[in-house]
Amino acid sequence: MLQRLFSTFANGWPGIGLLLQRLLIASALGHFGMSHLNATSDLASIVPSLIGVIAGILLLIGLWTPVVGSLIAVLQMWIAFSHAGDPWTSIMLATLAGTLAMVGPGAWSIDARLFGRERIEIRGH
């Protein structure tokens, strides 16, 4: 199914760029999520942070990237417009996750291993 969403799973320099983008988003979600979880005990405030941390882990390993990237984009836009403070970090993370959901995870991901094109080797007689 994921193979239909992406014509290829980018390899080489573009694949490395996508891996770095996944690493950046996941580390930011982990950092902000864990610091927010340590700072508050309000359940309504903890749930978005916990979802963000779990989604960041899935994005880091490249599993279900279109779904997780879309979830992160929606969650971060909700955080940007519903919480007080500077919304620009959430808007940046939403944009990066949204573009990653559109472009795909790259060759170095679990999605590529599970749903990538298989190579068929034809042996001569």
pLDDT per residue over 74-87, tens digit each?
A: 999 998 998 878 89
Whether 39 maps to a domain, the answer reads yes
Cα–Cα distance for residue pair 10/108, rounded to 1 Å: 9
pLDDT single digits (tens) 1-19: 555 565 568 889 999 999 9
Q: What letters, b where the CB count within 10 A reaches 16 and e where it falls short, cover 66-85? A: bebbbbbbebbbebbeeeee
Asked whether residue 63 is domain-assigned, the answer is: yes
Q: Does 13 map to a domain? A: no
The answer to whether 107 and 11 have CB atoms below 8 angstroms apart is yes
What is the identity of the amino acid at 112? A
Q: Which domain holds residue 100?
A: 27-115
> In sequence order, what DSSP letters do the residues of 110-121 get, joined into one string?
HHHHHHSPPP--
Mean pLDDT (whole number) for 104-110: 91
Q: How many domains does the chain have?
A: 1
Instruction: Please report the pLDDT score of residue 11 as a whole number.
Output: 87
5 in a structural domain? no
109 part of a folded domain: yes
